[in-house]
Amino acid sequence: MSQPDPLLPSNLFGEIDPPQRLLMGPGPVNAHPRVLRAMSADLLGQFDPEMTGYMNQVMALYRPIFGTANRWTMLVDGTARAGIEAALVSLVAPGDRVLVVNFGRFGLLLTEILGRIGAVIETVDAPWGQVVPMDAIAAAIERTAPKLVATIHGDTSTTMAQPLNGLGALCHAAGALLYVDATATIGGMELATDRWGADIVTGGLQKCLGGPSGSAPITISDRAAEVIFARRHTEAGIRMAELADGAGPRIGSNYFDLAMIMDYWSDKRLNHHTEATTMLYGARECARLMLGEGLEARYARHAAAGRAMTAGLRAMGLTVFGDDAHRMTNVTGVFIPEGVEGEAIRTMMREAFEIEIGTAFGPLSGKIWRIGAMGYNAARHKVLITLNALESCLRREGFALAPGAAVDAAMEAWSRV
């Protein structure tokens, strides 16, 4: 009788059957059913004309979402951080000076990635809960003379959105490029890549676009493309005679080499990796949903959801975190009331109501909850359900509040323009 293989698990666990949770944190959120259906379609070979046709459609669909006419508008395979790293490693060589506009955890992430690249990092900072004034950024650009200015558009760690109008002009006047991480805002707040003068903007699917994490939309200006192609170094195994390497330093990552990824998405179809077919289907459907709804309607829906959530939280007697003038529409931070155990409330929300709300990072850890209403979940009934559940949990923990006030305030705020 054969002995069982000790490396095999004792059972096969069973099919995945997750609970039907309402994800009302800072992301990920519940994917739209149409996106999930699109992702169940049959796979295609990466050079099948149907597949390359879908790739071209994705490029066309994401241009209006980014607010750009950029030719180089496509996907980086990987989570939103893959797009961030691809942008930075492809623009920045060791020793290059980069100015980071830092007002939260994800500004610090940019410095982390840039430090690994070997950049000379300068920062212009604001306390968590505020944004960096444009005159402070202008002074920092003049002081540091960077090759690149890098910023977050909306930082979910602080729930703040950095104003970007005029920033590209400041950068270009100083000979710098502008990179913007729009992971948390793409699909929910207006992106104006061309009007801002941004050279690279990256995003993700898992928040306002209403898809799963795993694909990073990106748009690249001609100015940035010139810098990237100056660093082109095509793999020996796929080299083409008509493609000359650039004179600049080789990009320090193979997978995140935008020069090769751009050649893959171009008419050359120069193989770089096997395209993540299922994620491309999902990203395509995210864009179709957004454009079908209409950009202005989409942004208005997210603004209404954020307005209703904020009004409901305040009606409970809670204090909303951060500067109202620069609040993201899709994520709201709220202080955990004194005497209330924040994690106990989150656990009760999850176990009793199947609703997830977010905790916080860094200096805000244990001090605030972050409650999102974005993408498929930026819906009035989901905001109301979440507020009603939070009210119930707080009352069970002994926090005094006016029953029903949060829902009433949110319903009134939803319709207010």
Q: What is the pLDDT of residue 3?
A: 75
Residue 272 has what pLDDT?
A: 87
Extract the runs of DSSP E, i.e. beta strands, from 292-407.
331-335, 355-356, 368-372
β-sheet bridge partners, residue 121:
98
Name residues whose C-beta falls within 8 Å of residue 24's C-beta, 6 or more positions apart in sequence: 355, 356, 357, 371, 372, 373, 377, 382, 386
pLDDT at 13 over 90: no
Interval 240-248 mean pLDDT: 84
Contact 35, 290 (CB under 8 A): no
pLDDT tens, position by position, 220-238: 999 999 999 999 998 888 8
Mean of the pLDDT values across residues 84-93?
98
What pLDDT is stored for residue 244 in this prediction? 83
Tokens at 417, concatenated = 């323009």
The one-letter amino acid at 168: G
Confidence at 9, pLDDT banded by 50, 70, 90:
confident
As given in the structure block, the two tokens for residue 374 are 């974005």
Q: What per-residue confidence (pLDDT) applies to 324?
A: 93
- 114-153 pLDDT, tens digit per residue, is 999 999 999 999 999 999 999 999 999 999 999 999 999 9
- Statement: residue 1 has pLDDT above 70: no
Q: Are strands 177-181 and 160-161 parallel, antiparallel or unpaired?
A: unpaired
Q: How many Å apart are CA 358 and CA 350, to the nearest integer?
A: 11
**Per-domain residue ranges of the chain:** 33-290, 295-415
Q: Which CATH class is domain 295-415?
A: alpha beta
**Residue 359, pLDDT above cutoff 80:** yes
Average pLDDT over residues 205-216: 98
Whole-number mean pLDDT of the chain? 96
Model confidence over 30-73: pLDDT tens digits?
999 999 999 999 999 999 999 999 999 999 999 999 999 999 99
Q: Is domain 33-290 classified as CATH 3.40.640.10?
A: yes
pLDDT of residue 192: 98
pTM exceeds cut of 0.85: yes
SS3 256: coil
Which burial class, exposed, middle or buried, applies to 40 when counting CB atoms under 10 A from its CB (0-12, 13-18, 19+)?
exposed
Question: Mean pLDDT across the stretch 301-321?
Answer: 97
3-class secondary structure, 335: strand
Picking from 181, 147, 176, 146, the residue whose alpha carbon sits closest to that of residue 164 is 181
